[in-house]
Structure 1
Amino acid sequence: MNYFELFSFTPTYQIDTALLAERYRELQRAVHPDKFANASEQDKRIAVQRTAQVNDGFSTLKDPILRAEHMLSLNGIDLKHESTTVKDTLFLMQQMEWRESLEDISDSSDPDTAISDLHESFSDYAKQIAEELSGLLSSTNEAELIQAADLIRKLKFMAKLQIELERIEDALFE
């Protein structure tokens, strides 16, 4: 299913999340199973299915990584069940540095600054990737879409690092 069509959006990486939320509420009101309480069993089932589609679409489009994966899937590239890893050695080296920095936080004399610096570093890198990704995802050129897939893989790594940083932060300040 094309979630962009469901929510009446042009398929682009950058979307108006406030408008997405507004359209989500509109769609929910239109298809919510409670509206079909007196309908036939088939209509009730359809309403439940449509509600699930709306919920899935909203979750997909509001998350930048899932949105990017969805855009690729609309172009025939499925990343959801793949095991391909990032081959960019510079990125892998940067990731190793970040992991070392994560490990060093608990021994740091100033963990607040170390955490803040990593948050900033992750954010800056993710923004850089997102900007590049935005242009690539609007393409129909296979080589550019493959480049976009590599960037999405990097964003997934970044998301895992961010989760790890938040876990460390929570553990330090409990």
Structure 2
Amino acid sequence: MPFDFSQSHFVLFGLPTTFALDRAVLDTAYRKLQAEFHPDRFAAADDAQKRLSLQIATRVNEAYQTLKSPLARARYLLQLNGVDTQEDTNTAMPVDFLMQQMEWRETIADAKTQRNVDELEELNRQLAEEITELTVELAELLDEQHAWSDAATAVRKLRFLEKLNDEIGNAIEAVLF
């Protein structure tokens, strides 16, 4: 059961090393690898082969989780290109982006206090549009411009937006339940 643990996630799934990817192709490649290396297939094998199949299946799962998420995929591409997104240390953002964040958080708090699910759902829709636009921008920065520093900033923005999206989901749950 030969397996190269040093290969990139993209190589593992037979994909080009790009941000834009065909999710159906990724899903198909994932299922094929899972079927090939799933530990259940090695139930009668010796302990070493069982352990190896488990390690390979774990690697395949981790790679799949990374590539299926735009945020994780962008981080990974930047990492492959030697760029640290500095998400934990660099919180500097453009002023207009920070102002928008503050407005959205105020809207969430107000809608939650007023138990206004419609307003929260509208904000969720707006945020989904923002996330889509930022994902398109990331594809251009990573795949076309190779603008690693700008892409790292976009990753930090996307992380902010995903956290905000989680806050909206939590607020909707709090209002409904």
TM-score (norm 2): 0.88
User: What is the distance in 1 between the residues matched to 2:151 and 2:46?
Assistant: 45
AA paired with 1:138?
D
2:101 is the counterpart of 1:73 = no
Higher alpha-carbon deviation: 146-155 or 120-129: 120-129
Cα offset for 1:88? 1.1
Q: Which moved more, 1:150-159 or 1:7-16?
A: 7-16
Letter in 1 for 2:164: L
Structure 1: 4+ residue segments shifted above 4 A: none
Task: State the AA in 2 paired with 1:150.
Answer: T
- SS for the counterpart of 1:138 is helix
Of residues 51-60 and 74-83 in structure 1, the stretch that sits farther from structure 2 once superposed is 74-83
For 1:5 and 1:82, the matched residues in 2 are separated by 29
Equivalent position to 1:90, from 93, 96, 99 = 96
Report the Cα distance in structure 1 between the residues aligned to 2:39 and 2:105, rounded to whole angstroms.
46
Q: Are 1:133 and 2:157 matched, yes or no?
A: no
After superposition, the CA RMSD in angstroms is 1.8
Match of 2:160 in 1: 157
Q: 1:85-130, CA deviations, whole angstroms, 9 ceiling, x for partnerless residues? A: 132111011101111111110344x813311221122112111111
2:163 corresponds to 1:147? no
2:26: which partner in 1? 20
CA offsets, 1:31-81, max 9 Å, x none?
112222233322222111100000001111111111111111111123377
Instruction: State the identity %.
Output: 35
Q: 2-side partners of 1:78 and 1:49: how far apart?
A: 27
Aligned length: 171
Question: Contact 1:75–1:140 (CA<8 Å) still a contact in 2?
Answer: no
**Structure 1: 5+ residue runs without aligned partners?**
none
Task: Report the counterpart of residue 174 of structure 2 in structure 1.
Answer: 171
| Stretch deviating more after TM superposition (32-41 or 126-135) | 32-41
> TM-score, normalising length from structure 1?
0.90
Gaps of 5+ in 2: 1-6
Aligned equivalents of 2:95 and 2:86: distance in 1? Answer: 23
The answer to whether the 8 Å contact 1:86/1:154 transfers is no
Output aligned runs, 1:28-67, within 5 Å.
Answer: 28-67=34-73
CA distance in structure 1 between the aligned counterparts of 2:12 and 2:79, rounded to whole angstroms: 15
